[in-house]
Amino acid sequence: MATATETLDPTPDLNTSGTPSRSIATRIAGRLGQGTVQVILIVIAVFWLVPVFGLLISSLRPDTANSSSGWWTALTAPSQLTLENYANLLGESTITSSLINTVLISVPATVLVVLIGALAAYALAWIDFPGRDWVMIGVVGLLVVPIQIALIPIAKFYGATGLFGTITGVVLFHVAFGLPFAVFLLRNYFSGIPRDLLEAARMDGGTEWSIFRRVVLPIGLPAIASLSIFQFLWVWNDLLVALVFADPDSQPITIALRGQLRQFGSNIDILASGSFISIIIPLIVFFSFQRYFVQGVLAGSTK
Amino acid sequence: MGVPRGADAGSPTPDEGRRTGVLSGGSPRLALVFLLPALALLLLFLIYPIFSSAIRSTYDAAGDRFVGLDNYVQAFTDPQTLLSLRNTAIWVIVAPAVVTTVGLLFAVLTERIRWATAFRLVVFMPIAISLFASGIIFRLVYDQEPERGLANAITVSVHDAFSSPSLYPGARPRDPATLTPDPSGALVTGRTFGANDVAPLAITGLAPDKLPEGAVQAVQPEPGPGLRGLVWLDVGGGTERVIDPGERGMPGVVLQVLRDNATVATMTTGNDGRYVVPDLPPGDYKIRLAENNFTAPFRGINWFTGTLVTPVIISAWIWIMAGFAMTFIAAGLAAIPRDALEAARVDGATEWQVFRRVTVPLLSPVLLVVFVTLVITVLKIFDLVLVMAPGSVLPEANVLALQMWQVSFGGNDPGLGSALGILLFLLVLPAMIFNIRRFRGDQ
């Protein structure tokens, strides 16, 4: 097993197509087969895009249109499209404040995980202390701990400390559960930094802290980028943690929208536009940092 | 080996870096300072809760009476919890295997395609979206109303392509004594007619604008040879059972001529609603307007029922996760030595044999990692079920992770809830051991 994983491409990317050299006969046969494959792939791609497209179009149609006809009718009658749903949505204070809450939760939860995780990862990679390997094994073990197991004990703890229903409480929970992955990913990356580089920094009289800040963090930037994107999306998209620990004042957008679910059929205008607003940021992040994102996913297989 | 090495991508010296170095200098005390925030949080939020939940699971709902393993007994006897355990089992058995297979398929299919990157981006995209939003997206896809839900819109049009929809759903006789509905939904005349009689049949219960475009003014047939008559839409407001100007015939109505309850002739009405059945031997005939003239239109499948709801939610999950499996497997695929594949091809192996005998065995460690990761994800599945299953069928779609939340925070039984949490933890334990062994093998 060990050898095979070692063969994993060290620079994973979505673009991993190989171009083997082949005889002319097989190439022609391959070309014919490729036509079929291309058609199949196009159908699959459409299959993957249409549901999201349906959400987008539904979010742009008035409520009356959504309840009387399918979103696909808008393709032939685009005049029914309107931004009204979005205007209504952004006029509602519960929605706007929950959107702000989502940002207020996601950003600190991401920054803190990177900071705390990087400090621990550096110690685990480059400072010798007794039991170091055991700590690392513990971190790997904690990667798969289900959130559910912490809900009741932490709810009790938050109740006792006054953190229940606060944004701080939600953030801390996310940070803690993001840490095993953060430490794991960053420590793997940090341990790849050439020793000479660190030794040289120390020769120059750098303290441990300044080595961390001036050498480790800048070199570790790609891994930090992967981690940040991953953690940010994870927190942004969360429902469960906020469902338990947030109250109406600190609830993120997912919880605010969930309140509209009960009457699904009559609330499509709110749900579709609200959901679309909530996925715009993740989609932008995904498409702009696709490469780092892929690396994070490949590294975080155990999460 | 261990962890898929994505994180090491581009790291300065990926191979030497495996051996974790130790710098000269640096003290245990310093390490503790660096580690402290992380350790404190992990201890409080992850490790303490495991023990706390284990203890809490042996107490009753109020938390003041020790009940031993009663909560676990309840977990395996309470029908609702059993149902959620059954569904989780279905998920674990079906979903990871399907997603891994689909991912492998996509990865292999895209291997030699020029626009593979674009394709993979599209299929990978759902993983960036919240399970909540994905749930909404698929609630919409599977909506019961064919006017709203794409799945049923397609189902209905496929269905109607094979069995044409009825022309006059919901239409009924003006006078139930003249035309009587039979159990199948067909309308049969109450009295009998002779071979050369005239039988006008008045129908109502249909909006005039629902008539086919070709329908023209109804005309009372003149008596003549053959059983003849008329089926027309007797609009309310005019004189009942009389053909008023403007009232139109109903084209395309299939009628059967019955003699002693056996069909002796079948006829279809014309644009003015008239029909003639010539050359009948003398006798007593009844006329039957076939049920398929009036059957209610097919409205698609109710996807959110007890038996269908879990497969439907799993299908949404496949849409979400296939890209993850594909990306992972594609990375493994790209790392397979070309020589091995070429050697097999030179030896005369077909593409399928190469795939089956060379590619898959070489990929199996990667496939295993993907599979285990998916199993862990499936065990914790929560949001998607909560969002996609409408309240009325939620109990039937329930899964362990969701049941745990409902019992603890909706049902107010933290005792049983803790037991379910521990159960969930025990289920991921094999994966935890798998990861640790993988990690240690790598060191």
The pLDDT confidence band at residue A31, using thresholds 50, 70 and 90, is low
A262-279 burial: b if 16+ Cβ within 10 Å, else e: eebeebbbbbbbbbbbbb
Express the helix, strand and coil content of chain B in percent, nearest 5 each: 50, 10, 35
pLDDT for A28: 62
Flag whether pLDDT at B433 surpasses 70.
yes
Q: Do A145 and B333 touch (CB under 8 A)?
A: no
Indicate if the pLDDT at residue B3 is higher than 70. Answer: no
Stretch B338-361: mean pLDDT: 86
pLDDT confidence band for B10 (50 / 70 / 90): very low
**Nearest to A143, CA basis, from B14, B16, B131, B2:** B2
Of A127, A233, A271, the CB nearest to B34: A127
What pLDDT does residue A243 have? 95
**Are the beta carbons of B41 and A172 separated by less than 8 Å?**
yes
pTM for the whole structure? 0.82
Q: Are B108 and B363 in contact (CB under 8 A)?
A: no
Instruction: Tell me if B113 and A17 make a contact (CB, 8 A cut-off).
Output: yes
Interface residue B341 vs chain A (CB under 8 A): yes
CA–CA separation, A293 and A229 (whole Å): 6
**Closest residue of B to A270, CA-based?**
B136
State whether residue B177 sits within 8 Å of chain A by CB.
no
Residue A299: pLDDT band (50, 70, 90) is low
pLDDT reading at A193 higher than 90:
no
Confidence tier at B299 by pLDDT (50, 70, 90): confident
pLDDT in tens, A199-241: 888 888 778 888 888 889 999 999 999 999 989 999 999 999 9
A135 neighbors B35 (Cβ within 8 angstroms):
yes
Residue pair A145/A182 in contact by the 8 Å Cβ criterion:
no
- Mean residue pLDDT of chain B comes to 86
Percent of chain B residues past pLDDT 90, beyond the cut: 41
- Non-local CB neighbours of A196 within 8 Å, separated by 6+ positions: none
- Residue in chain A nearest B46 by alpha carbon: A150
Judged by CB atoms closer than 8 Å, whether chains meet at A192 and B148 is answered as no
Among candidate residues B205, B224, B209, B208, the one with its CA nearest the CA of residue B274: B224
Strand partners, B189: B179
Question: Distance from A150 to chain B by nearest Cα, in Å?
Answer: 5
Q: What is the pLDDT of residues A63-74, one digit of tens each?
A: 888 878 888 888
Position A120 confidence tier, pLDDT thresholds 50, 70, 90: very high
Q: Does B425 touch chain A (CB under 8 A)?
A: yes
Å from A59 to nearest chain B CA?
A: 11
Q: Nearest Cα to B246, choosing from B234, B259, B258? A: B234
Q: Mean pLDDT, to the nearest integer, of B294-321?
A: 90
Q: Are B380 and A141 inside 8 Å of each other by CB?
A: no
Q: What ipTM goes with this model?
A: 0.87
What's the confidence (pLDDT) of residue A275?
94
Contact state of A261 with B46 under an 8 Å Cβ cutoff = no
Most distant pair of Cα atoms in chain A: their distance: 75
Average pLDDT over residues B115-133: 92
Would you state the pLDDT for residue A9?
Answer: 38
Write the pLDDT tens digit of every residue in B159-189.
Answer: 888 877 778 887 888 888 788 888 888 888 8
Among B50, B130, B412, the residue to mutate for chain A (most A Cβ within 10 A): B130
Predicted confidence band of residue B349 (pLDDT cuts 50, 70, 90): confident
pLDDT of residue B194: 86
Residue B282: per-residue pLDDT = 87
Expressed in percent and rounded to 5, the helix, strand and coil fractions of chain A are 75, 0, 25
The β-bridge relationship of strands B227-233 and B198-204 is parallel
Residue B87 — pLDDT band, cuts 50, 70, 90?
very high
Question: What tens digit of pLDDT does each residue of A249-283 get?
Answer: 999 999 999 988 877 777 888 899 999 999 999 99
Residues of A in contact with B348 (CB under 8 A): none
Q: Which residue from B13, B143, B334 is facing A194, i.e. has the nearest CB? A: B13
| Per-chain mean pLDDT for chain A | 85
Q: What is the pLDDT of residue B219?
A: 83
The C-alpha atoms of residue B341 and residue B348 are separated, in whole angstroms, by 11
CB pair distance less than 8 Å for A153 and B23: no
Nearest CA of chain B to the CA of A5: how many Å? 6
Rg (chain B; Cα; Å):
35
Q: Is the pLDDT of residue A4 over 50?
A: no
The 10 Å Cβ neighbour count of residue B106 is: 24
Residue B380: pLDDT over 70: yes
What does the H/E/C string look like for B244-296? CCCCEECCCCEEEEEECCEEEEEEECCCCCEEEECCCCCCCEEEEECHHHCCC
Per the rule left: phi > 0, alpha: psi between -120 and 50, beta: everything else, A189 is: alpha
What are the pLDDT digits (tens) for A94-118?
999 999 999 999 999 999 999 999 9
Condensed to tens digits (0 to 9), the pLDDT of residues B208-262 reads: 887 888 888 888 888 888 888 888 888 776 677 788 888 888 888 888 888 888 8
**Residue B397 backbone dihedrals phi, psi, to 5 degrees:** -100, -5
Question: CA of A28: how far to CAs of A41, B107, B115, B348, B359, in Å?
Answer: 20, 22, 19, 17, 22
Of A231-240, A275-284, B32-41, B350-359, the least confident: B350-359
Return the pLDDT at A196: 86
B370-399 residues touching A, CB cutoff 8 A: 370, 373, 376, 379-380, 382-383, 386-387, 390-391
* Beta-carbon pairs below 8 A across chains A and B: 446
Cα distance from B132 to chain A (closest Cα, Å)? Answer: 7
State the pLDDT at residue A29.
Answer: 60
Work out the number of other CB atoms within 10 angstroms of the CB of residue B319. 21
Residue where the block lists tokens 């095979």 = A4
- Closest CA in chain B for residue A158: B45
Flag if B17 and A153 touch (Cβ within 8 Å). Answer: no
CA dihedral B232, B235, B236, B240 (to 10 degrees): -40
User: Taking CB atoms and an 8 Å limit, are B148 and A295 in contact across chains?
Assistant: no
How large is the average pLDDT for residues B131-144?
92
CB atoms within 10 A of CB B337: 11
CB-nearest partner of B45 from A6, A150, A293: A150
List of chain B residues whose C-beta atoms are within 8 Å of the C-beta of residue A154: 45, 49
CA-nearest residue to A285 within chain B is B128
- Model confidence at A175, pLDDT cuts 50, 70, 90, reads very high
Tokens read off for B399: 């899964």
Please tell me the predicted confidence (pLDDT) of residue B6: 31
Q: Is A299 in contact with B126 (Cβ distance < 8 A)?
A: no
Closest residue by Cα to residue B169 from B182, B188, B181, B185: B185
pLDDT tens, position by position, B391-430: 889 999 999 999 999 999 988 899 999 999 999 999 999 9
* Angle value at C-alpha A96, between A94 and A101, nearest 5 degrees: 90
Contact yes or no for A26 and B345 at CB 8 A: yes
- A123 and B35 within 8 Å at the Cβ level: the answer is yes
Mutate which of A21, A152, A181 to disrupt the B interface (most B C-beta within 10 Å)? A152
Chain A residue numbers with beta carbons less than 8 Å from the beta carbon of B21 are 125-126, 191, 195, 198
The pLDDT of A1-15, averaged and rounded, is 39
| Residue count of chain A | 303
Contact A137, A227 (CB under 8 A): no
